[in-house]
Amino acid sequence: MTTVAHDASRGGTSLRDSFRSLGHRLRISPAAYETAQKPLMFVSFAMIVFVGLIPLFAGPGDTLLAQQALYLGLLALSLNLLVNTTGLISFGHAMFWALGGYMVASSYKFSIPIFGNPLFALAMTPIMGLVAGFVIGLIVFRGRELYFSLLTLGVAQLVWAVAHGWQSLTGGTNGANGVFAAEWINAFLHPDRLYWFIFGCVLVCTAMLYVITNSPFGDALRGIRDNSRRAEFAGLWVKRYELTAFMIAAMFGAIAGGLSVIGDTQINSGLVDWTLSTRALIVVLLGGVRFFLGPFAGAFFYLYVFNEVIQRTAMWDTVLGVVVLVVALFLQGGLAGLIQWLCALGVTIRDRLTGRQVEEPVAPMSAAAGQAVHLPDIAAAAAGDGDGKVQWADRALVLDVKNLTKSFGGLVAVNDVSFHVREGAIHAIIGPNGAGKTTLFNLITGLIKPDTGEVVLEGEDVTGAAPWRLVKRGMGRSFQQTNLFWELSSLGNVTLAESAVKDATRKLWGSHPEEITNRAKALLDRVGLGSFRSITARELSHGDQRSLEMATALAVESHFLLLDEPTAGISPAETRDAVELIRKIAHEENLTVLFVEHDMEVVFGIADYITVLHYGAVLAEGTPAEIRANPDVQKAYLGEITEEEVAG
């Protein structure tokens, strides 16, 4: 090695250099992943066919394992709707499996007239799952994030304890054994037919889950996972969407449990305890969360490999633990991620060999490059509101804030604040640091509830109403810190916001209506992001992210925009752009805008009405000219605005 390095320093072509250049040439671009979609689809399809044909060439033992992998995979797949799509980690998903399983088993055991037919009971498991998912969801969604995970574990343990203790119903640890199916799929007489029956059921369920995952509803779930606050300000009733996802996952979990009882001809409390929940999570992890069929890959891997391991060593759980550790730490894409990577590598190698140029995605240019697009007609905007005295008193009230007070402990952050925002105004709230501006914003937008006082939006009392309700009433909000669906594309951000407020995201199949995507594209053009449609929000420059936020706020068809420091943290050049964008759009759309701002140049540049907050209370309000002349304001701002600036 040292000689090689030595050679390199003398300028010769070293081994290391050629390795490095090979590594560089084989660097897998995002485009290669894009191209790899096709071979990946092919591989997936081939795998499905292969799995469907297993009984034709495999022995009974392997066929049974494959069958078990099918329902374990379905359980994991339904769990992945929560874990990956919605970002909820359930530690108790086995409870739905248990409910479905016991439903099928008990129907047989008790020969309840209609339910006496296990296949009918199986057909009822989805309903059981939905109902159970709803009831249990009401409990577990009391907690967020980790609390949610632990609550699911707790409720699952409760379900398990009942299954374990209620001997007369479930049989406890002995459980129930038998052929819980019609004769034609008797597990002992026709194992192959049984396999195909289960394969068919799982295939249908998988197809349904695929459609749901890729529907507008699925988009809403991804948005929630990405940024639930943003989702709420896009008009999504987050809890309801999460509950729905939970119910759907529960439904397919219950079906998987029902199938398992028919397939395994047994159920007992030992089979449905919390290890099954964690097994489902492990299978999801092993298979890879990001690829739709990953959980099945994980289930097959888990069952076949660990079947071998258990036969070879008593320390099988140690082996499993090490595998989980390695995958969790180093192989986050799981098995499917590995296959995906291999396909992309194959594409890259093919392209290099054939000399084909891989199309790089459009690099996100900075806003500076797009300035020409951004710059609106300043003259026109200025002409619109510059001259004639506007009679503000004649305008209708959009927002009427009455005696709002909020204290945190001993600190009164907002103290008896009252003010109006009139239609069509660009209304600024200013005040020194700590004056309570952002708290006031949070009170108005329903993020926190006031101690006393009222918020009236267009004549209706909306004090403490949830953000998504306000959004549906036409209020849009941006945040001091940019708040977007980071992992979604620009177009995805706008589309989701628009779809959400129009309730198009309630659709469990298909895609967003065309008029919504078209309008979203038009909006992106408006704010100058037309060429960045497929770039994820995270990759945009800060100024462009601000523009995207603006487009999102417009997409929800708000006629009343609340902007919290729209120019915070962006460069002076971008600030000018942003200000002009606000002015232009407010003017064209006849929007009412309420904004908080530090930059006095921005405030006096676009505001036509100003409220000054100081120590949580209203110090002054009036037109920019009146505020400039107000001695109290000058005093409060001494040091922030110099005399010259005040004089204009």
Partner 1 sequence: MTLGYSFSDYVVQIIAGLGTGSVLFLVSAGLTLVFGALRVINFAHGSLTMIGAYVTVSLAGWLGFGNAIFWIVLLLAALVVAAGGLFMEVAFFRPIYRRPLLTQLLVTFAFVLIIAGVIRKVYGARTRTTDVPPFLQGGIDVLDGAIPKYQFFFMAMAVVVAVALWAMLYRTGLGRTIRAAVSDPVLLGLSGVNVRVLFTTVFVIAAFFAGLAGALTTLQGSVGPGLAVDTIIRAFVVVVIGGLGSLSGAFIAAFLVGIAEALGILWVPSASLAIVFAVLVLVLAVRPQGIMGHKA
Check residue 621 and report its DSSP letter: E
List 12, 165, 361, 464, residue binding partner 1 (CB under 8 A) = 165
Binding mask 73-92 for partner 1 (x = CB under 8 A): ----------x-----x-x-
* Binding flag, residue 144, partner 1 (CB under 8 A): yes
Structure tokens of 568?
A: 């915070």
Rounded to whole angstroms, the Cα distance separating 72 from 281 reads 11
Amino acid, res. 197: F
Residue 220 beta carbon to partner 1: minimum distance, rounded to whole angstroms: 21
> 21 or 318, CB closer to partner 1?
318
Binding mask 168-187 for partner 1 (x = CB under 8 A): ----x---------------
Q: Per DSSP, which regions of 423-516 are E strands?
A: 426-430, 452-457, 460-461, 475-478
Amino acid, res. 343: C
> 29 or 157, CB closer to partner 1?
157
Q: Is 641 exposed, middle or buried (0-12, 13-18, 19+ CB in 10 A)?
A: middle
Residue 125 beta carbon to partner 1: minimum distance, rounded to whole angstroms: 23
* Binding flag, residue 307, partner 1 (CB under 8 A): no
Choices 144-152, 202-210, 439-447, 480-488; region in contact with partner 1 by CB under 8 A: 144-152
Size of the site for partner 1 (CB under 8 A): 45
Backbone angles phi, psi at 547, to 5 degrees: -65, -40
Pair 589, 566: CB distance under 8 Å? no
List 121, 151, 293, 586, residue binding partner 1 (CB under 8 A) = 151
Choices 46-54, 107-115, 314-322, 513-521; region in contact with partner 1 by CB under 8 A: 314-322
Rounded to whole angstroms, the Cα distance separating 274 from 105 reads 20
Amino acid, res. 527: V
- How far lies 599's CA from each of 296, 565, 575, 640, in Å? 55, 9, 10, 10
List 39, 43, 52, 164, residue binding partner 1 (CB under 8 A) = 164
Q: Annotate 333-368 with b (16+ C-beta within 10 A) or e (fewer).
A: bbbbbebbbebbeebbeebeeeeeeeeeeeebeebe
Binding mask 232-271 for partner 1 (x = CB under 8 A): ----------------------------------------
List 210, 316, 341, 615, residue binding partner 1 (CB under 8 A) = 316
Looking at residues 322 to 341 of the shown chain, list those that interact with partner 1 (rule: CB under 8 A): 322, 324-325, 328-329, 332
Q: Which 3 state secondary structure label does DSSP give 171? A: coil
Q: Which 3 state secondary structure label does DSSP give 272? A: coil
Residue 542 beta carbon to partner 1: minimum distance, rounded to whole angstroms: 21
Rounded to whole angstroms, the Cα distance separating 590 from 587 reads 5
Choices 241-249, 310-318, 386-394, 481-489; region in contact with partner 1 by CB under 8 A: 310-318
Choices 194-202, 311-319, 394-402, 538-546; region in contact with partner 1 by CB under 8 A: 311-319
Taking alpha carbons only, the member of 306, 268, 281, 303 closest to residue 64 is: 303
Residue 328 beta carbon to partner 1: minimum distance, rounded to whole angstroms: 5
List 314, 353, 363, 393, residue binding partner 1 (CB under 8 A) = 314
* Binding flag, residue 154, partner 1 (CB under 8 A): yes
Residue 335 beta carbon to partner 1: minimum distance, rounded to whole angstroms: 15
- Which helix (H) or strand (E) segment is 398 a member of? strand 397-408
* Binding flag, residue 411, partner 1 (CB under 8 A): no
> 13 or 167, CB closer to partner 1?
167
Rounded to whole angstroms, the Cα distance separating 22 from 344 reads 16
Structure tokens of 435?
A: 């004056």
List 42, 166, 184, 509, residue binding partner 1 (CB under 8 A) = 166
- Which helix (H) or strand (E) segment is 140 a member of? helix 118-140
Rounded to whole angstroms, the Cα distance separating 427 from 515 reads 32
Choices 138-146, 194-202, 524-532, 639-647; region in contact with partner 1 by CB under 8 A: 138-146
Rounded to whole angstroms, the Cα distance separating 39 from 341 reads 11
Binding mask 283-302 for partner 1 (x = CB under 8 A): --x---x-------------
* Binding flag, residue 114, partner 1 (CB under 8 A): no
> 96 or 108, CB closer to partner 1?
96
* Binding flag, residue 158, partner 1 (CB under 8 A): yes
List 32, 103, 124, 282, residue binding partner 1 (CB under 8 A) = 282
Q: Which 3 state secondary structure label does DSSP give 453? A: strand
Choices 158-166, 213-221, 529-537, 615-623; region in contact with partner 1 by CB under 8 A: 158-166
> 176 or 425, CB closer to partner 1?
176
List 8, 119, 130, 150, residue binding partner 1 (CB under 8 A) = 150
In angstroms and rounded to an integer, the radius of gyration of the C-alpha atoms of the chain is: 30
- Which helix (H) or strand (E) segment is 117 a member of? none
> 136 or 582, CB closer to partner 1?
136
Tokens 């119910």, residue?
Answer: 247
Tokens 């709230």, residue?
Answer: 429
Pair 610, 602: CB distance under 8 Å? no
Taking alpha carbons only, the member of 494, 477, 476 closest to residue 540 is: 494
Choices 93-101, 137-145, 369-377, 561-569; region in contact with partner 1 by CB under 8 A: 137-145
* Binding flag, residue 167, partner 1 (CB under 8 A): yes
Q: Is 577 exposed, middle or buried (0-12, 13-18, 19+ CB in 10 A)?
A: buried
Structure tokens of 577?
A: 């752009």
Residue 145 beta carbon to partner 1: minimum distance, rounded to whole angstroms: 7
Q: Is 631 exposed, middle or buried (0-12, 13-18, 19+ CB in 10 A)?
A: exposed
> 284 or 430, CB closer to partner 1?
284
* Binding flag, residue 280, partner 1 (CB under 8 A): no
* Binding flag, residue 315, partner 1 (CB under 8 A): yes
List 210, 274, 306, 486, residue binding partner 1 (CB under 8 A) = 274
Pair 202, 194: CB distance under 8 Å? no
List contacts with partner 1 (CB under 8 A). Answer: 83, 89, 91, 139, 142-147, 149-151, 153-155, 157-158, 161-162, 164-167, 172, 274, 278, 281-282, 285, 289, 314-322, 324-325, 328-329, 332
